[in-house]
Amino acid sequence: MTPFSLQTVDEVARVNVDAVKIASPDAVNVPLLRRVARLNRPLMISTGTATLDELTTAAGIIACHPQGGCLLQCVSSYPTPEVDTALGGIVALAERFDLPVGYSDHTNETATGALAVAAGACVIEKHLTYDRSASGPDHAASFDAGQFAEYTRAIRLTTQMRGPTDKTIRPVEQEVRTLCRQSLCPTHDLPAGHVLNESDLTVKRPGTGIPAAELDEILGRRLRRDVTGTDLLSYDDLE
């Protein structure tokens, strides 16, 4: 729910909403932001028409807010042209303020929400209308029920495909990792007591022996037992 004045904050309080969303023109309305923050509800602030510097106070209010919240990258144009969608602002806001960032979408493209998620948005705002041809400023930038269904399906799929924001070995990769990684292998038969040098070693699949990445650590090590040129080198082979 969005209050547009100090007087309407009390109405929002009576409704006992789950979260409060501030419209872009009020992202710099400090009295309203402070009053809304006292409602002790998660706070989402749209950022259309504002520069990063102008958003410092709003970001600070969210950062200190017990219930948390997010900034919403937004372009205040209804509808927003594709060339002005500015999804890169999601990254800019996150880097500048170290806060969760979403996207308030006024485009007519059903892919925009999904693209915003791919860019890092954690919240998507999109208006739903009963009739896109109805009079008023928002209807032309809103979606009807069919478009909204397609829009949300794409967002959920993208959220699933994007996954966590880290770089990990996925379970589905584990077999390929084991089979296709390279291990250190002697280039020829070598006797026990031999000190390994670079000409003694090559790499072969699978990756079940000493990893090829550890070449520098293995050079200069002495063999504990005889090895053949067909073996993958193991740590048990080394003194």
pLDDT for res 236: 96
Looking at the domain assignment, is residue 1 inside a domain?
Answer: no
User: What number is the average pLDDT over the span 129-155?
Assistant: 94
20-71: pLDDT as tens digits: 999 999 999 999 999 999 999 999 999 999 999 999 999 999 999 999 999 9
Categorize the per-residue pLDDT at 137 as very low, low, confident or very high, splitting at 50, 70 and 90. Answer: confident
Does residue 79 have a cis bond before it (omega within 30 degrees)?
A: yes
Domain closes at, from 162, 184, 206: 162
pLDDT for res 106: 97
Q: Based on the domain organization, do 31 and 148 belong to the same domain? A: yes
Q: CA-to-CA distance for 135 and 138, rounded, in angstroms? A: 8
Name residues whose C-beta falls within 8 Å of residue 141's C-beta, 6 or more positions apart in sequence. Answer: 78, 79, 80, 106, 107, 108, 127
Looking at the domain assignment, is residue 154 inside a domain?
Answer: yes
Mean pLDDT across the chain: 95
Looking at the domain assignment, is residue 41 inside a domain?
Answer: yes
User: What number is the average pLDDT over the span 174-184?
Assistant: 95
Q: Based on the domain organization, do 89 and 37 belong to the same domain? A: yes
pLDDT for res 16: 84
Looking at the domain assignment, is residue 144 inside a domain?
Answer: yes
Q: Based on the domain organization, do 192 and 150 belong to the same domain? A: no
Q: Based on the domain organization, do 17 and 81 belong to the same domain? A: yes
Residue 184, pLDDT > 90, answer yes
Q: Based on the domain organization, do 230 and 186 belong to the same domain? A: yes
Looking at the domain assignment, is residue 136 inside a domain?
Answer: yes
Q: Based on the domain organization, do 130 and 15 belong to the same domain? A: yes
User: What number is the average pLDDT over the span 88-104?
Assistant: 98
pLDDT for res 1: 85
Looking at the domain assignment, is residue 101 inside a domain?
Answer: yes
Looking at the domain assignment, is residue 135 inside a domain?
Answer: yes
pLDDT for res 25: 96
Q: Based on the domain organization, do 39 and 155 belong to the same domain? A: yes
Q: Based on the domain organization, do 115 and 47 belong to the same domain? A: yes
Q: CA-to-CA distance for 117 and 121, rounded, in angstroms? A: 5
Q: Based on the domain organization, do 184 and 156 belong to the same domain? A: no
Q: CA-to-CA distance for 35 and 173, rounded, in angstroms? A: 50
Residue 174, pLDDT > 90, answer yes
**How many secondary structure helices (H) and strands (E) does the chain include?**
8, 7
pLDDT for res 210: 97
Q: Based on the domain organization, do 47 and 117 belong to the same domain? A: yes
Question: CATH number of the domain that 137 lies in?
Answer: 3.20.20.70
pLDDT for res 146: 96
Q: CA-to-CA distance for 28 and 50, rounded, in angstroms? A: 8
Domain closes at, from 121, 139, 162: 162
pLDDT for res 91: 97
Residue 102, pLDDT > 90, answer yes
Domain closes at, from 139, 162, 185: 162
Q: Based on the domain organization, do 140 and 193 belong to the same domain? A: no
pLDDT for res 165: 85
pLDDT for res 136: 84
- pTM of structure: 0.84
Give me the domain span that covers residue 153.
Answer: 6-162
197-228: pLDDT as tens digits: 999 999 999 999 999 999 999 999 999 999 99
Q: Based on the domain organization, do 198 and 86 belong to the same domain? A: no
DSSP string, 126-172: E-B-S-TTSSSSSGGGSB-HHHHHHHHHHHHHHHHHH--SS----GG
Q: CA-to-CA distance for 101 and 124, rounded, in angstroms? A: 9
Looking at the domain assignment, is residue 35 inside a domain?
Answer: yes
Asked if 142 contacts 111 with a C-beta cutoff of 8 angstroms, the reply is no
Question: CATH number of the domain that 181 lies in?
Answer: 3.90.1210.10
Asked if 195 contacts 222 with a C-beta cutoff of 8 angstroms, the reply is yes
The CA distances from residue 200 to 96, 183, 215, 216, in Å, are 52, 14, 11, 13
Quote the number of domains for the chain. 2
